[in-house]
Chains A and B, each alone.
Chain A
Amino acid sequence: MNKNKKNIILIVEDEVIISKTYAEELRDEGFIVFTAGNGKDGLKIALLKKPDLILLDILMPVMDGLTMMDKLRKKNIYGKNVPIVLLSNLSSSEEKIMKTVTNTKNEPTSYFVKSDWDLDDVVAKIKQLLS
């Protein structure tokens, strides 16, 4: 992680408690954190704040995570290259997710099932992706 400049992370998650817990943990770890409750807001904040990494839920009202990711990836160079960690409780055998993740070989996209990953693991993964 860059010592001089704090990394910015955007959390797009509709579950308030989950969003809050991730945000507080990441702030404790020294990140600047923005949150959004759906894909539409997430996309807006992403383009405005240009976070270094996006934690993205999939099932959300207004606009789901996969749609947001698709729009962002197509928007501009920043959007194409920003690391996105998909976090969802949808089982990873879901065809749609796997197709999205495997079809984006040139784009930094990871996928985790939320309930299978400890908070520490997620933080470690974020740090690894940003290093």
Chain B
Amino acid sequence: MITIKKKDDIKELKKKLAVIAKEKEDVRLKLVITAKELAATASEKEDVRRKLVVTAKELAITAKEKESVRRKLVVVAKKIAVYTTGLEDKVAERTAELVERVSELESLNRTIDIARAKERATLLSIGDGLFATDEKGNIIFINKKAEKLLGRKSEEVMGKVFSEIIPMEDIKEIPVPSKERPINTVLVTGTMPLINTPYFYIRKDKTKFPIAITVTPTILDGKVIGAIEVFRDITQEQAVDKAKSEFISVASHQLKTPATAIKLLTERLISGKMGDFTDKQKEYFNDIHSSNERMIDLVNALLRVSRIELGAFNIVVKEKEPCAIVLNILDELKYVISKKKLKLNIISSMPRALLMLDEHLFRMVINNLLTNAIQYTKEGGSIQVEYKVVNKGEILGKKILEEKCFVIIISDTGYGIPQKAQDKVFTKFFRADNARQKHTDGTGLGLYIVKSTLEYSGGLIWFTSRENKGSEFYVAIPMTGMRVQTEKNNNKYIKYNE
């Protein structure tokens, strides 16, 4: 408290008050400044805060991203973990499999080794000569028998070109050119060529021997990788064949000579050139003649049969016109045909066809069938001869042809073959009752010979027939021609259509 005592004192007070006021003003100014400074600080702070907020937001975003990356990493890590585990399992599994495989292969190898050893032993000891070549025709194997037959040692020929090291000749003693050698045909075409001429192998010492050959291609994945040839020395067989056919030939000659003499003499007697005879004498001469003719027929037929059965049967094929041969046979028979007043009808869907035929055998077959048709058809009846090419799969006379064939159909309006005799018609010496009545002098060998001949030459015969209506005989010869059949396997070509 200020105590006022005098005027000076008031002045003093006044002074003091002014100082205080000034001080107060100073303070106020200072406060204003401070306030301003505070305000400025606050604004700065606000800025910083704002910046902080922005930074915080940015941090939050970064954190989020980090989190997502982390999550992804976790997923990947998990996957890797799973994969690694699977891989290990698989490796283990595969390893086990491989181990098993290896042991399988080992046992397989063993089996193969055993099989090879067996095969080798078999091939080595096989009774026929055997060669194996690679795809170029180089010898990769020769067996003991081949070594022996050819007078060669395995080490001399192994790896050499087969067709060069082992010379081959044909029947005319001409060396067979390399590309015509069966083994090379097989290597090139993959199929065994049809060998119908005898071949000879030349030994090391230049001597030779006839052979029978079979060549088989070795095929892997559809490609020819080599060939195997098996051959046999057929010297002995040829000698036996020769003896057989000589026997037949001589027997044929000897049996037929006396019959021929009787034939000629009776023909002279019957001709009337020897003077006149009584009717009874003429009758007897005729009887002798016809009996003798039957004997000749029988001898001929028997010789054919023995030829067939001994296999002394040559098939010599040449390109021939079957139609022309048939017409020629018909021409030879025209006298008997007109004598019996038979109508002859020829149907041809092909005027000219060429076929590999043994003309002699073909003639014999057709002649036989035509003669039967004439003999077993009554006067005034008719005979029809038809020839055509029939395709594989076509049906003819109740049969399906399994090969393209040239077919001759000989039909008649004759006595026919009774149902119960039909399955016996081709048997030796069989004659149906009705045939026996109409013609007493048949041998019962004709159709047997015809069927056997066709079977041996790759053809076929069959028929359809109704008693008292007539018969149709079908002869089929493959378009590839007649050929020697090693087996009677006609069903290969044609089967019953049932």
The interface of chain A, by Cβ under 8 A from chain B, is 15, 17-18, 21-22, 24-25, 28, 59, 88-95, 98, 114-116, 118-120
What are the residues of chain B within 8 A of A120 when measuring CB–CB? 267, 271
Q: Report the separation of the CA atoms of residues A62 and B299 in the bound assembly, to the nearest whole angstrom.
A: 27
Q: Flag if A91 contacts B303 (CB, 8 Å).
A: yes
Instruction: Give a binary string over B258-293; 1 marks a CB under 8 Å from any A CB, 0 the rest.
Output: 011101110110010100000000000000000000
Instruction: List the one stretch of B200-208, B249-257, B348-356, B389-397 in contact with chain A.
Output: B249-257
Q: Which residue of B lies closest to A24 (CB)?
A: B268
Q: Flag if A98 contacts B316 (CB, 8 Å).
A: yes
What are the residues of chain B within 8 A of A28 when measuring CB–CB? 273
Contact partner of B300 (CB less than 8 A), chosen from A15, A17, A115, is A115
Q: Which residue of A lies closest to B364 (CB)?
A: A93
6 contacts between A and B (CB under 8 A): A17-B264, A21-B265, A89-B252, A115-B259, A116-B296, A119-B268
Contact partner of B257 (CB less than 8 A), chosen from A15, A94, A95, A98, is A15
Would A22 and B264 be within 8 Å (CB), given that A90-B249, A93-B361 are in contact?
Answer: yes
Contact partner of A114 (CB less than 8 A), chosen from B256, B267, B360, is B256
Instruction: Please list the 7 inter-chain residue pairs (A to B) with the smallest Cβ-Cβ separation, ordered nearest first.
Output: A89-B256, A21-B264, A17-B261, A119-B267, A115-B296, A115-B256, A115-B260
What are the residues of chain B within 8 A of A17 when measuring CB–CB? 261, 264-265
- A-B contact sample (19 more), CB < 8 A, given A95-B316, A120-B267: A17-B265, A18-B257, A21-B265, A25-B264, A25-B268, A25-B273, A59-B253, A88-B253, A89-B252, A89-B253, A91-B307, A92-B360, A98-B360, A114-B260, A115-B256, A115-B259, A115-B263, A116-B300, A118-B267
The dominant DSSP class at the A interface is helix
For this complex, into which size category does the number of interface residues on chain B fall?
20 to 34
Q: Report the separation of the CA atoms of residues A17 and B265 in the bound assembly, to the nearest whole angstrom.
A: 8
What are the residues of chain B within 8 A of A118 when measuring CB–CB? 263, 267
Closest CB in chain B relative to A131 CB, distance in Å = 20
The dominant DSSP class at the B interface is helix
Does B345 lie at the interface of the complex (its beta carbon under 8 Å from any beta carbon of A)?
A: no
What are the residues of chain B within 8 A of A24 when measuring CB–CB? 268
What are the residues of chain A within 8 A of B303 when measuring CB–CB? 91
Contact partner of B252 (CB less than 8 A), chosen from A15, A21, A91, A95, is A91
| B406-444 contacts to A (CB < 8 Å) | none
Q: Flag if B314 contacts A95 (CB, 8 Å).
A: yes
Q: Report the separation of the CA atoms of residues A88 and B257 in the bound assembly, to the nearest whole angstrom.
A: 9
Q: Which residue of B lies closest to A122 (CB)?
A: B264
Contact partner of B360 (CB less than 8 A), chosen from A15, A25, A93, is A93
Q: Report the separation of the CA atoms of residues A119 and B314 in the bound assembly, to the nearest whole angstrom.
A: 30
Greatest chain A CB density within 10 A among B296, B303, B307 is at B296
Instruction: Give a binary string over B335-368; 1 marks a CB under 8 Å from any A CB, 0 the rest.
Output: 0000000000000000000000000110000000
Closest CB in chain A relative to B300 CB, distance in Å = 7
What are the residues of chain A within 8 A of B263 when measuring CB–CB? 115, 118-119
What are the residues of chain B within 8 A of A114 when measuring CB–CB? 256, 260
Q: Which residue of B lies closest to A87 (CB)?
A: B260
Q: Report the separation of the CA atoms of residues A114 and B299 in the bound assembly, to the nearest whole angstrom.
A: 13
Q: Which residue of A lies closest to B295 (CB)?
A: A115
Q: Which residue of B lies closest to A120 (CB)?
A: B267
Q: Which residue of B lies closest to A102 (CB)?
A: B318
Closest CB in chain B relative to A65 CB, distance in Å = 12
Q: Report the separation of the CA atoms of residues A95 and B299 in the bound assembly, to the nearest whole angstrom.
A: 20
| B152-211 contacts to A (CB < 8 Å) | none
Q: Report the separation of the CA atoms of residues A30 and B364 in the bound assembly, to the nearest whole angstrom.
A: 35
Q: Flag if A89 contacts B257 (CB, 8 Å).
A: yes
Closest CB in chain A relative to B341 CB, distance in Å = 23
Closest CB in chain A relative to B250 CB, distance in Å = 8
What are the residues of chain B within 8 A of A116 when measuring CB–CB? 296, 300
Closest CB in chain B relative to A56 CB, distance in Å = 15
What are the residues of chain B within 8 A of A98 when measuring CB–CB? 316, 360
Q: Flag if B314 contacts A18 (CB, 8 Å).
A: no
Q: Flag if B264 contacts A119 (CB, 8 Å).
A: yes
Q: Which residue of B lies closest to A28 (CB)?
A: B273
Closest CB in chain A relative to B361 CB, distance in Å = 7
What are the residues of chain B within 8 A of A18 when measuring CB–CB? 257, 260-261, 264
What are the residues of chain A within 8 A of B256 when measuring CB–CB? 89, 114-115
Q: Which residue of B lies closest to A17 (CB)?
A: B261
Contact partner of A93 (CB less than 8 A), chosen from B271, B296, B299, B314, is B314
Q: Which residue of A lies closest to B303 (CB)?
A: A91
Q: Report the separation of the CA atoms of residues A98 and B249 in the bound assembly, to the nearest whole angstrom.
A: 14
Closest CB in chain B relative to A48 CB, distance in Å = 27
Q: Flag if A90 contacts B252 (CB, 8 Å).
A: yes
What are the residues of chain A within 8 A of B253 when measuring CB–CB? 59, 88-90
What are the residues of chain A within 8 A of B267 when measuring CB–CB? 118-120
Q: Which residue of B lies closest to A97 (CB)?
A: B249
Greatest chain B CB density within 10 A among A25, A92, A98, A114 is at A114
Q: Report the separation of the CA atoms of residues A12 and B260 in the bound assembly, to the nearest whole angstrom.
A: 16
What are the residues of chain A within 8 A of B299 when measuring CB–CB? 115
What are the residues of chain A within 8 A of B259 when measuring CB–CB? 115
What are the residues of chain B within 8 A of A93 when measuring CB–CB? 307, 314, 360-361
What are the residues of chain B within 8 A of A92 when measuring CB–CB? 360
Q: Report the separation of the CA atoms of residues A118 and B271 in the bound assembly, to the nearest whole angstrom.
A: 11
What are the residues of chain A within 8 A of B316 when measuring CB–CB? 95, 98
Closest CB in chain A relative to B329 CB, distance in Å = 14
Closest CB in chain A relative to B273 CB, distance in Å = 6
What are the residues of chain B within 8 A of A22 when measuring CB–CB? 264
Q: Flag if B314 contacts A89 (CB, 8 Å).
A: no
Q: Report the separation of the CA atoms of residues A125 and B281 in the bound assembly, to the nearest whole angstrom.
A: 29
Q: Report the separation of the CA atoms of residues A93 and B360 in the bound assembly, to the nearest whole angstrom.
A: 7
Q: Report the separation of the CA atoms of residues A33 and B116 in the bound assembly, to the nearest whole angstrom.
A: 77
